[in-house]
Structure 1
Amino acid sequence: MTRFFVLGNGNILVGLDGFNRIRDFYYPYVGQENHVNGNKHKIGIWIDGKFSWLDSGEWRLKRAYKKDTLVSEFRATHKHLQVELRMSDAVHHKKNLFLREVIVRNLSNEKRTARIFFNQHFHISEANIGDTVYFSPQLNAIINYKGKRYFLISGLCEGKGFSEYACGVADFAGLEGTYVDAEDGKLSKNPIEHGTVDSTIGFECELEPRGAQRVEYWIAVGQKFREVKELHEFVMENGLTNLIKETEVHWRKWVNKERLFFCNLGKQIAELFKRSVLIVRAHTDNRGAIIAASDSDMLYFKKDSYAYMWPRDGALVARSLDRVGHHTMTRRFFEFCARVASEDGYLLHKYRPDCSFGSSWHPWIVGNKPILPIQEDETALLLDAIWKHYSRYKDKEFAREMYESFVKKAADFMCKFREKKTGLPKPTYDLWEEKLGVHTFTCATVYAGLQAASKLAKEFGKASASARYKKVAEEVRRATIKHLYSPEDKVFVKGLVCNLSEGMKLKLDKTTDASTFYGLFEYKLLPLSDARLTRTIELAKHKLHCHSAVGGLSRYENDAYYRKRSDSVGNPWFISSLWLAEYYIAKANSAEELKPAEQIFEWVARYALETGVLSEQIDPDTGEPLSVAPLTWSHAGFVIAVVKYLEKLESLGMCKIK
């Protein structure tokens, strides 16, 4: 299920589904290790001898974030039980704590006793082998541990600890877990279990007619028992409600670091912009990695997820952080990339947040021919992002460090990694990670990356290197125009794809792909006025538009990934639709010419979840999210496009944005 909420602090990332169940709990890195891995931490209530789980379908649910924060607001109302639950969840902005406040409200005119139950189903370190869970009477807490990973679960109801608990076996020998035991309103109080385990705790609330009581629930995580014990004591001393409030204050200050005036865009767009920045932050590890997504439901697709740092995604996300003033985080990302880059200067497919190499499907040999299993645009886009970062912040010392540690060797690699006959880059995989060949988008990014390296070299007095990078960049540009423009069709093609049946021979790939037009104009391989660019964009608009109730732009023709309809071009993607918005913005010279971009912003907001989460793609008929949600790239794309729009308004003298 889609994650309606993501909460984090750079060490922890917690994902909650539409029933407010914890489904992902990453620690000690954002994106590594997921100690829940899609299991469901269920929430239920027993009242008047009846029991209901929040995922039963019996509740009316309402979801939102508190404005400008990474604090959730969730309301569940049960008409027949006459009870309402209001929850606020947060990950403390500094401490490794998940915090939940629940207001249990009696909607009847009778005095009643209710018990609210929380189930915990951890797979510590991503495996359900060798875990231990036990009740600590000294702390009135549940301790769940394995090796150097400790989880402490506790709470209070109006100052009193939980009265019900059970530790048990889950997912083994036909045993579902201790949550089943809660359905009669009582738990077994089994004090310990090991192996594949879960636990459930329950709080008793005495509810006056139309009255309410507060339940406080927390999970502390650390590498030692002492750490989680100290965090538990920290909550007890400071108060959970106070900790949630100070977390709210922190995020409001953080997201408004650079105050933007959104001119005519309206409240909905402004709020989605800030929500996007916050969701990007939640997916950024404090040590530099920016992961693509945290939604572990992808595990059911091929036992893998998007919880990796793709250098391309990260470079584009870093641009969005730079544009809202969070340059410290961007620098950590660039330093991360410098650490993981190969000695030859290129970056591999993807990485784990601890700097180890991630899983990959790119082979090292194709048709008996050894190849380099990379997507060259991932290396090139980093150089472009580093230059743009330097242009904005003018931190010469940092830029010099990056030039010496990464930019120089990456640019030298790109200069050498070319076909002698054509001058084009050698074949690598495209940005969609599917086709091996020479792609227009990749060529455009190599051109931009080498131009960036040339400018940085010039800044630091490296005249010879600067001239060489500029010369090769121009050669790549000319080769791209010569070999990837089709005079017959009068447009640029996707690229030259390797034909494996003919010994890796390159053949023209005429697939209409949104990345083709985006690469050409965004990385300035062609001027906006160039008729060849205009025709390429018009063809993409015609062929990639989703002719359905939802609309939007698919990423390329006949995209089969999560495809819902065989008669459609593919599903609409937020990023490809936003690329078109960026083109409209770049070309606009009046308010009228900006209207198509505004319409795309409104379309994005319309198909965001009620919490502001943007998925990777959406169902062409219903607009429901498909694939992962949230996708960090979708949110960064929205931020970048909106900032470009505001900057264009300012350049036209129509609005002052700061």
Structure 2
Amino acid sequence: MTRPIVLSNGELHVGINNFGLVHDFYFPYVGLENHAAGKDLRHHVGVWVDGQISWLDIHASDWHVEFSYPHRGLVGHMVAVNEALGIILEFDDTVDAHMNAFLRNIHVVNMREYEREVRLFTHQAFAIGDSRSNTDTAQYLPDSDAILHYRGNRVFVVSGNYHNAPFDQYTVGIFGIEGKEGTYRDADDGELSMSNVEHGRVDSTLRFTLQLAPHDSGRVHYWIAAGTSLRDALHINKQIQKQGVGHYMHSTLHWWHTWLEPTERVLDRMDERYRDNFRHSVMIIKSQIDKRGAVIASTDSAMLNYWRDAYAYCWPRDGAYVLWPLIRLGYTEEPLKFFEFCRRVMHPSGYLMHKFRADGALGSSWHPYVHDGLVAPPIQEDETALVLFVFAQYYGMHKDQRLLDDFYEEMIKPMALFLAEHIDEATGLPKPSYDLWEEVFLTTTYTTSVVYAALLAAGDLAEAAGDHNNAVAWRLAADDIYDAAHKHLYNSQRKSFYKGLLARDGEITYDERIDTSSVFGAFMFGLFPIRELELQTALQSLLKVFPTHEGAYGLPRYENDTYLRTNDTLPGNWWHIASLWLAQYCIETGDSETATKIIDWVQQYAGPTGVLSEQLDPHTGESLSVAPLTWSHAEFVATLLDMITEPEAH
């Protein structure tokens, strides 16, 4: 399920689902410890009026819900209208920029011609620590006018007020066990049972009672304060009670206005119809970055309901792609934290593993150390290479000696030495590793392209660091890869690049599938210069196999891609990333007309808040997999930056 609103301050991250409910609640890392992951854990919101109850999700057909980011900051706005009930709910939601609190300003509107009593119910359900074990506690705190949820060093204090008075009823209980659905069902008659404490798999519900004149309205302020101790969470709760939700909403907007200044500076050079989604994409990218450096692929946890795992990990490749447009915009803190993260998690042998949790621990993986008898590290070599390459671009923009002092010996040199030595003697190409799509163990054209560019970049960094011997060695290694690539990687029969090859026992086997990453990797990283016949014919072959036309510019990853495919007659689902790569190629070759059409097409399939998914169903246009996907937003931003700048060397 799409998260039309995502909110974050780098520690607390909240995802709002299509019903306007809290469905992801990460703390204290973005992407790690989701205390509200799962379909049974969404935080219900309901209205009781004229003797009946209506919940935004349970009675979804009665509610018309719209979302937006109207404030030039990561403050979400939602309007939920129930014509039959005669009620409008308007939400302004944010995560405070400076302290760990989720804030909701809920505007309740009476649409009827007569006075009414409206009871607003807010429900909270956590599996604290993302453990699914039944060891949480919830209890009413009379001295703080709040409900406390806690387990160990994860503490959430829930409260709110209306007309400067706290909620007028509450209850705590259990859900998902012993036949209990949850305390929200206690609100069916408009009254709560006032239970004070419960432990196990616990939830809670608050009630706010509003007396509204005809066509009148009132505002309920609601919040969840998060801390790693009861003291911390209670302190935040007290500050909000003292200063008010409005105060923190305004201070958070001010913080975002300041942070967005580099983004705002380029908007005047951009077509007006792209500006909102460009800004939204930059904000969404920021929302997916943990303050300690990890760049999360997606915090949308919906896949946990259907698959073994979700996307809440830091893939170093994704992180490097995501940071590159921020670097181009002039941001410095996020790239530096990411490079520090990569330096911290790097393997002693100089490479980066498959993926990582936000705290730097190894993420889950399905890649083995033994590959059909061949022993090799379970990595995607392009991840190491791309981090090195993007670091070099960052250094090239700033020329700050402190970057070399901090990173050259501890990260750049080990990475470059690994890349230069991890060469297959039979082909002269990088040894096989997993492709960027994480599926096949090969020496791929894409990975070869990134390794080539990374070694050239490492040579420049070595020169700047005074390491002249390695500068020469790494440039020579890149030259050798260039020559080997031109010998092995072009398929003259299909007039395209091989997806990859595998050398074993003196024989070379080829994967002839046409892969978008092969073509655009060779282009973006200069392995096959843009004017060379091989690259031009490879692009033509790609577009012949995956034809695009007016109104539909979707490209799959590669031929017969089965991942989440809904129709076997089609070559694979459309990926925003692949389509935007094509737009970037068009910009580089001067075909801005086609590039514009592709950007328009991508924007057509963005959500109302600009959210981009990973994939689209080619039959229906429905978003598939996670949304937002951080990498999709990064390519959208990068493509629009290409449109307003001179073509850059790749």
> Shared fold (TM-score greater than 0.5)?
yes
Query: What is the aligned partner in structure 2 of residue 102 from structure 1?
Result: 106
Equivalent of residue 285 in structure 1, options 285, 290, 293: 290
Report how far residue 66 of structure 1 moved: 2.1
- Aligned partner (choices 149, 158, 173) of residue 154 of structure 2: 149
> What letter corresponds to residue 152 of structure 1 in structure 2?
V
Distance 1:185 1:545 in 2: 57
Task: Output the CA distance in 1 between the equivalents of 2:3 and 2:515.
Answer: 29
Q: Who is 1:336 aligned against?
A: 341
- The equivalent of 2:404 in structure 1 is 399
> Cα deviations across residues 24-43 of structure 1 (Å, max 9, x unaligned)?
01111111111111321111
Q: Is the 8 A contact 2:147 2:159 kept in 1?
A: yes
Residue 188 in 1 paired to residue 193 in 2? yes
Correspondence for 2:596: 598
Residue 6 of structure 2 aligns with which residue?
A: 6
- The aligned counterpart of 1:244 is 249
Aligned partner (choices 372, 376, 389) of residue 377 of structure 2? 372
Measure, in 2, the Cα distance between the counterparts of 1:616 and 1:331. 26
Tell me the equivalent position of 1:530: 532
Q: CA deviation at 1:550?
A: 4.7
**Counterpart in the other structure of 1:327:** 332
Do the aligned partners of 1:45 and 1:115 also contact (CA within 8 Å) in 2? yes
Q: Which moved more, 1:641-650 or 1:125-134?
A: 641-650
Alignment-derived partner of residue 203 in structure 1: 208
Cα displacement string for residues 505-561 of structure 1 (whole angstroms, at most 9, x for unaligned residues): 641111111101111110011211111101111111221246897541111111111
Query: Which amino acid in the other structure matches residue 596 of structure 2?
Result: E
Take 1:154 and 1:284, find their aligned partners in 2: how far apart are those partners? Answer: 28
Structure 1 pair 221/261, CA: closer, same or farther in 2 (3 Å)? closer
Deviations 1:61-97 (A, max 9, x none): 1111124211011001111111111110000011000
Residue 576 of structure 1 corresponds to which residue in structure 2? 578
5+ residue gaps in structure 1?
A: 652-658
Equivalent residue in structure 2 for 1:63, among 60, 64, 67: 67
Residue type of the partner of 1:524?
G
Query: Corresponding residue for 1:555?
Result: 557
Give the whole-Å Cα distance in 2 for the aligned partners of 1:66 and 1:141.
30
**Aligned-residue offset at 1:318:** 1.1
* C-alpha contact 1:289 1:336 (8 A) present in aligned 2: yes
Aligned to 1:656: none
The amino acid across from 1:172 in the alignment is I
Which whole-Å CA distance do the structure 1 matches of 2:505 and 2:608 have between them?
Answer: 51
Which position in structure 1 is the counterpart of 2:418? 413
Q: 2:624 aligns with which of 613, 623, 626?
A: 626
CA distance in 2, matches of 1:378, 1:275: 27
Partner amino acid for 1:26? Y
Within 1, Cα distance between the matches of 2:334 and 2:217?
A: 42
Instruction: Measure how far apart 1:47 and its partner are.
Output: 0.5
Q: Is the 8 A contact 2:460 2:471 kept in 1?
A: yes
Tell me if 1:54 matches 2:59. Answer: no
Aligned counterpart for 2:606 among listed residues 605, 608, 619: 608
Given the superposition, is the C-alpha separation of residues 424 and 579 from structure 1 closer, same or farther in structure 2, using an over 3 Å criterion? same
CA spacing shift, 1:262–1:148, aligned 2, 3 Å: closer
Aligned to 1:308: 313
**Quick check: 2:26–2:32 contact (8 Å CA) kept in 1?**
yes
Asked if the contact 1:512/1:544 (under 8 Å) is kept, the reply is no
Secondary structure at the aligned position of 2:645 is classed as helix
Correspondence 1:116-265 to 2 at 5 A: 116-128=120-132, 129-262=134-267, 265=270
Q: What's 1:89 paired with?
A: 93
Quote the residue 1:639 is aligned against.
637
Conservation of the 8 A alpha-carbon contact between 2:553 and 2:579:
no
C-alpha offsets along residues 187-224 of structure 1, whole Å, 9 cap, x if unaligned?
11111111111111110011011101110000000011
Kept after mapping to 1: 8 A contact 2:497/2:514: no
Q: 1:649 to 1:383 in 2, by over 3 A?
A: closer
Alignment match, 2:82: 78
- Structure 1's 546 and 306: CA in aligned 2 closer, same or farther, altered over 3 A? farther
1:539 aligns to 2:544 (yes or no): no
Q: Normalising by structure 2, report the TM-score.
A: 0.97
Alignment of 1:437-476 (within 5 A): 437-476=442-481
**Amino acid of the structure 1 residue aligned with 2:10:** G
Question: Counterpart of 2:646 in 1: which secondary structure?
Answer: helix
Q: Take 1:650 and 1:212, find their aligned partners in 2: how far apart are those partners?
A: 54
State the Cα distance separating 1:421 from its structure 2 match.
2.1
Instruction: Report if aligned partners of 1:546, 1:568 keep a CA contact under 8 Å in 2.
Output: no
* CA contact 2:495–2:541 (8 Å) conserved in 1: no
- Aligned AA for 2:95? V
How far apart are 1:429 and its partner, in Å?
0.3
Task: Give the distance between the partners of 1:135 and 1:550, measured in 2 at CA.
Answer: 55
Q: How does 1:420-435 map to 2 (within 5 A)?
A: 420-435=425-440
Distance 1:503 1:135, change over 3 A: farther
Q: In the aligned structure 1, how far is the partner of 2:495 from the partner of 2:376?
A: 32
- Cα distance in structure 2, aligned partners of 1:487 and 1:551: 26
Look up the match of 2:30. Answer: 30
Check the 8 A contact 1:544/1:555 in 2, yes or no. no
* 1:355 to 2:357 alignment: no
Q: Distance in 2 between matches of 1:604 and 1:93?
A: 30
Aligned partner of residue 563 in structure 2, secondary structure:
coil
Structure 2: any 5+ residue segments left out of the alignment?
A: none
Cα distance change of structure 1 residues 336 and 46 upon mapping to structure 2, 3 Å threshold? same
Aligned pair partner of 1:382 in 380, 384, 387:
387
Aligned residue in 1 for 2:566: 564
Distance 2:29 2:522 in 1: 36
TM-score between the two structures when normalised by the length of structure 1: 0.95
Q: Structure 2 counterpart of 1:604, which letter? A: V
Residue 480 of structure 1 and its aligned partner are, at CA, apart by 1.1
- Give 1:158 deviation, angstroms: 1.4
* Structure-1 separation of matches of 2:182 and 2:442: 50
8 Å CA contact retained: 1:550, 1:622 = no
Which deviations, in whole Å up to 9, do the C-alpha atoms of 1:368-414 show, x marking residues without a partner? 33221100000000111011001112222113321111010111011
| AA partner of residue 642 (structure 1) | L
The structural deviation recorded for 1:306 is 0.6
- SS for the counterpart of 1:304 is coil
Contact 1:549 1:620 in 2 (8 A): no
Residues 548, 621 of structure 1: 8 Å contact kept: no
On the 8 A contact 1:545/1:554 being kept in 2, the answer is no
Residue 17 of structure 2: aligned partner:
17
The residue matched to 1:260 in structure 2 has which SS? helix
- Shift in Å, 1:491: 2.2
Distance in 2, Cα, partners of 1:551 & 1:582: 13
Match of 2:515 in 1: 513
Aligned length: 644
Q: How does 1:498-509 map to 2 (within 5 A)?
A: 506-509=508-511
Question: Do the aligned partners of 2:53 and 2:189 also contact (CA within 8 Å) in 1?
Answer: yes
Partner SS, residue 511 of structure 1: coil
Question: What is the RMSD of the two structures over their aligned residues, measured on CA atoms?
Answer: 1.7
